[in-house]
Amino acid sequence: MSEATDVCGCKVGRGIERYGLDGLDAELVRRRRESDASLRELADYTNRQMLAAALDAASVDLDDTLYGAVDDEDAVEVLYDTLADDETPTERVARVRTRLVQNGVDVEAVQSDWVTHTTVRSHLRECLEVDTSREASITPADGRDTIEWARNRCANVVGETLERLRRADLLSTGSLETSVTIQVTCTDCGGTYRPGQLLSEQACDCGGDTSG
């Protein structure tokens, strides 16, 4: 039994014990602290490790064109993406699942053991005492500058395109000046704002509604 399961009975801890994933906790902490991996990335990593362990336990030969990969690590990633991505064609999922079952892998059991980013967050916080909060990586000033750059860039692209059409005699106009106005609308409260206004107020009508 791994060290994590001595102190942790959450879903991640149970997966560590079931699949013999000693060292997973240390790797999750390392990836979070040193590589700044997101919780979703950590959940995917955990799930791939579970799948890899199940494949290894069943002695599945990954050197198979069905898996579309050149080595075991790539094959596991391809298999995981195939099974976890809702956009994977149904026929391909069925073909992969059938082949895995034929090779002795209980696909349904493995998938039921997979974790979500919220499960990983709880495991890091409550079991490993890792702070999962993050400092804001953008400020209102940064956002204002980026939006203004994008607005100017859009206006320039539109203006240059229209000028090219004029020079090609595909557009008959006088001298053109192009401007772009950006408006954003909150789909909950219906309020419409200029980006600068929204950044200044730091809330829409939803955030400013103190009724109820």
In this structure, the answer to whether residues 35 and 104 fall within a common structural domain is yes
| Domain presence at residue 40 | yes
| Domain presence at residue 23 | yes
Q: What is the DSSP letter of 87?
A: T
Q: What is the DSSP letter of 20?
A: T
Q: What is the DSSP letter of 67?
A: G
Judge whether 62 and 75 are in contact, CB under 8 Å: yes
Averaged pLDDT for residues 120-148? 83
In this structure, the answer to whether residues 121 and 148 fall within a common structural domain is no
Tell me which of 106, 127, 148 is where a domain ends.
127
In this structure, the answer to whether residues 21 and 115 fall within a common structural domain is yes
Query: What's the pLDDT band for 5 if we cut at 50, 70, 90?
Result: very low
Q: What is the pLDDT of residue 43?
A: 95
Q: What is the DSSP letter of 192?
A: E
Domain housing 49: 3-127
**Structural domains of the chain, count:** 2
Tell me which of 102, 127, 152 is where a domain ends.
127
Query: What's the pLDDT band for 207 if we cut at 50, 70, 90?
Result: low
Averaged pLDDT for residues 114-139? 85
Comparing 59-73, 115-129, 134-148, 186-200, which segment has the lowest mean pLDDT?
59-73
**Does residue 180 carry a pLDDT above 70?**
yes
Which residue stretches of the chain are H helix?
3-7, 11-19, 24-34, 39-57, 72-84, 90-102, 107-113, 117-122, 140-167, 195-201, 205-208
* The two three-digit tokens of residue 19, written as one number: 């699949």
Q: Tens of pLDDT along 36-69?
A: 889 999 999 999 999 999 999 999 887 664 665 5
**Does residue 4 carry a pLDDT above 50?**
no
Share of the chain above pLDDT 90, in %: 48
